[in-house]
A and B are shown apart, each in its own frame.
Chain A
Amino acid sequence: MSNPTLKQAPFLSRLSRRQFLKIAGASTFAAAAGVATGAPASATRGTTPAMAKHVAKPLDGQELNIFTGNHHDKYVRDLVIPMFQDKTGAKVNYTSIGGGDIDAKYAVFVASQDGSQDVLYSWETLNAKYGRTLMEDITTSFPAKTLQGIAPVTVKAFTFLGKRYGIPFDSNIFIMMYNKDLYKAAGLDPEKPPQTWKEFIAYSKKLTKAGQYATLFTLGDGNASFATFASMFNSTGSLLYNADLTKFSVDNEAGLMTMNAINDAITKDKVVDPTGLPLVSSIEQGKVFRAGKFAHYIAAPNHYTLAQDSTQSQVVGKVGMSIIPGLKLRSGSLGLFEGYGINKYSKNKVAALAFLDFMVSPEVQKNVVAINWGRPPSRLATYDDPDVQKASPQFAVVKQQAKFPAPRYGSPFYFDVGTVFSNYMNKMVKGEKTPKAAVTGIQADAQKLVDAYWAKVKK
Chain B
Amino acid sequence: MAFPTVSQRFQRMDEGRFGLLLMAPTIIILTVFLVGPILYAIWMSLNSMDLTISPDADFVGVQNYVQLVDDPAVQDAVPRTLYFAGLTVVFSTAMALLLALVLNESFRGRKWVRVFILLPWAVAPVVNGVLWRYMFHPQYGLINAALYALGLIKEYRVWLDNAAVSLAIASVASTWKALPFLALILLAALQSIPESLYRAAKMDGAGAWSRFRFVVLPHLRGILIFVVLLQIIVSLQAFDLIYTLTRGGPGTDTVVLNYLVYVNAFERLNLGNAAAMGILLALFIVGLSGLSLAFAVSRRR
Contact yes or no, A422 B250, CB < 8 A: yes
Contact: B54 with A132, CB < 8 Å?
A: yes
The residue in chain B whose Cβ has the minimal distance to the Cβ of A129 is: B52
Residue ID in chain A nearest B51 by CB atoms? A110
Min CB–CB distance B211 → chain A (angstroms): 47
> Which residues on A sit within 8 Å (CB–CB) of B252?
419, 422-423
Q: Is the interface of B mostly helix, strand, loop or mixed?
A: loop
A133 with B139: CB separation less than 8 A: no
A280 on the interface (CB 8 Å rule)? Answer: yes
Neighbouring A residues of B262 by C-beta, 8 Å: 104
- A425–B178 CA distance with the chains assembled, in angstroms: 35
Interface residue range, chain A? 35 or more
Chain B residue contacts of A107, Cβ below 8 A: 51, 265-266, 269, 271
B 154-182 to A, binary, CB cutoff 8 A, 1 in contact else 0: 01111011100000000000000000000
Give the residues from 404 to 459 in chain A that come closer than 8 angstroms, CB to CB, to chain B: 412, 415-416, 419, 422-424, 426-427, 430, 453, 456-457
Complex CA distance for A222 and B250, rounded to whole angstroms: 9
The verdict on A363 contacting chain B, using a C-beta distance below 8 Å, is no
Q: Tell me, in angstroms, the Cα distance from A278 to B156 when the chains sit together.
A: 13
A132 touches B139 (CB 8 A): no
Q: Which of A157-193 contact B (CB under 8 A)?
A: none
A-B contact count (CB 8 A): 89
Rounded to whole Å, the gap between the CB of A22 and the closest CB of chain B is 34
- A288 interface contact, C-beta 8 A: yes
Rounded to whole angstroms, the CA-CA distance of A211 and B144 in the bound complex is 14
The interface on chain B, measured as residues whose beta carbon lies within 8 A of the other chain's beta carbons, has a size of 30
Q: Is A51 an interface residue (CB 8 A)?
A: no
Q: Is there contact, CB below 8 Å, between A110 and B268?
A: no
The interface bits of chain A over 83-102 (1 if a CB of B lies within 8 angstroms of the residue's CB, else 0) are 00000000000000000100
Which of B51, B144, B249 contacts A422, CB < 8 Å? B249
B157-A275 in contact (CB<8A)? yes
| Residues A278 and B155 in contact, CB atoms below 8 Å apart | no
> Cβ of A69 < 8 Å from any Cβ of B?
no
B160 contact set on A, CB distance < 8 A: 278
Q: Bound complex: CA of A111 vs CA of B49, how far in Å?
A: 9
Interface positions of B (Cβ within 8 A of A): 49-55, 138-139, 144, 155-158, 160-162, 247, 249-253, 262, 265-269, 271
Identify 8 new A-B residue pairs, CB closer than 8 A, beyond the known A221-B249, A225-B251: A110-B55, A133-B52, A133-B53, A220-B249, A220-B250, A275-B138, A276-B139, A426-B251
* 10 smallest beta-carbon distances between A and B, as pairs: A423-B251, A275-B138, A104-B266, A426-B250, A422-B251, A110-B51, A412-B52, A107-B266, A275-B156, A275-B139
